[in-house]
């Protein structure tokens, strides 16, 4: 496994991961950073876009990378991530993630471990970025959210608990939450913290949460909580 204590090795891995997702101008800028690193120069203030940070955590799962990018954006809006970069520039320094309590585990196989402490070690032969080795998930089937017993599935119950918590937090921060805006964070918590999937072992997406867990007319219904 590569030791990303070396800056040049970390930057090289980052460029290798992100270059396919950028146009020629972006790749040219990355090549310039590599050239500077080759001279031994330390590159300060190396910022990454939210979605690119997601790709470094989920290099083989674009949907998960996008979802993490959305969670980072929501966390910035909520003031949960501190940065010298103004909000709206859609960028963060790697070390800014140290201020985020809900940052995903950082594995040794993640080149961001050059800047961030490793919080989860890789199993031998496993370079997946998170504790759950990911494969391309099948989309949830409609049967996954049916109620044959009259009670909602456990993941729906847990999703609603997260929804109540996030909704009240947003209200407490003088925000105007919406189901669509909180669903990515709920999906991330179900996957990362609760290790929950549907009955068919499909990953639970933000859209699926809005449709089945936060719908007032399905699975017993959910209504936004009211502050006491």
Asked if residue 31 belongs to a domain, the reply is yes
My answer on whether 13 and 105 are in the same domain is yes
- Residue at a domain's end among 114, 131, 163: 114
In a domain, 57, yes or no: yes
Domain range for 209 is 142-213
Are residues 16 and 108 both part of a single domain? yes
Q: Are residues 190 and 97 in the same domain?
A: no
**Do 104 and 25 have their domain in common?**
yes
Asked whether residue 27 is domain-assigned, the answer is: yes
pLDDT of residue 150: 63
Boundary (domain end) residue, out of 65, 96, 114: 114
Identify the pLDDT of residue 130. 40
Per-residue pLDDT for the chain (228 aa), expressed as one digit of tens each? 455 667 778 888 888 888 888 888 878 877 777 777 666 655 555 788 899 999 998 888 888 888 888 889 888 888 888 888 887 766 888 888 989 888 888 888 888 888 888 876 554 433 343 433 333 444 454 445 554 456 788 999 999 999 999 999 999 988 889 998 898 889 888 988 888 887 777 778 888 898 889 988 888 899 999 988
Regarding whether 148 and 110 lie in a shared domain, the answer is no
pLDDT at 166: 93
Asked whether residue 136 is domain-assigned, the answer is no
Looking at the fold, whether 31 and 80 belong to one and the same domain comes out as yes
34 within a domain of the structure (yes/no): yes
For residue 32, tell me if it sits in a domain. yes
Give residue 41's pLDDT: 59
CB-based contact 173:79 (threshold 8 Å): yes
Q: Does 84 lie in the same domain as 32?
A: yes
pLDDT, residue 159, reads 94
Can you say whether residue 124 is alpha, beta or left, with left for phi > 0 and alpha for psi between -120 and 50 degrees? beta
Residues 36 and 107 in one domain: yes
Same domain flag for 106 and 15: yes
In this structure, are 91 and 174 located in the same domain? no
Number of domains comprising the chain? 2
Q: Per the domain annotation, does 132 fall within a domain?
A: no
Regarding pTM above 0.85, the answer is no
Same domain for 25 and 96: yes
Whether 80 and 175 map to the same domain: the answer is no
Which pLDDT does position 214 carry in this prediction? 93
- Domain-embedded: residue 199: yes
């Amino acid at each position: 496994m590569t030791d990303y204590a070396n800056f040049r090795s970390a930057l090289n891995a980052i460029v290798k991961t992100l270059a396919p997702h950028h146009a020629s101008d972006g790749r040219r800028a990355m090549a310039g950073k590599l050239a500077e690193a080759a001279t031994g120069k330390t590159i300060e203030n190396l910022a990454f876009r939210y979605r690119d940070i997601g790709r470094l955590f989920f290099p083989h799962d674009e949907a998960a990378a996008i979802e993490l990018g959305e969670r980072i954006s929501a966390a910035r809006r909520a003031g949960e991530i501190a940065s010298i970069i103004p909000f709206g520039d859609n960028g963060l320094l790697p070390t800014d993630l140290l201020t985020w309590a809900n940052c995903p585990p950082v594995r040794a196989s993640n080149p961001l471990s050059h800047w961030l402490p490793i919080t989860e070690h890789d199993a031998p032969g496993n370079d997946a970025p998170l504790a759950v080795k990911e494969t391309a998930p099948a989309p949830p089937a409609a049967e996954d959210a049916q109620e044959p017993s009259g009670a909602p599935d456990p993941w729906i119950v847990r999703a609603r608990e997260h929804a109540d918590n996030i909704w009240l937090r947003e209200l407490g921060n003088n925000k105007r939450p919406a189901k669509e805006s909180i669903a990515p964070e709920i999906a991330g918590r179900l996957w990362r913290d609760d290790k929950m999937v549907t009955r068919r072992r499909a990953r639970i997406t933000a859209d699926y949460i809005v449709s089945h867990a936060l719908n007032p007319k399905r699975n017993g219904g959910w209504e936004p909580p009211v502050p006491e």
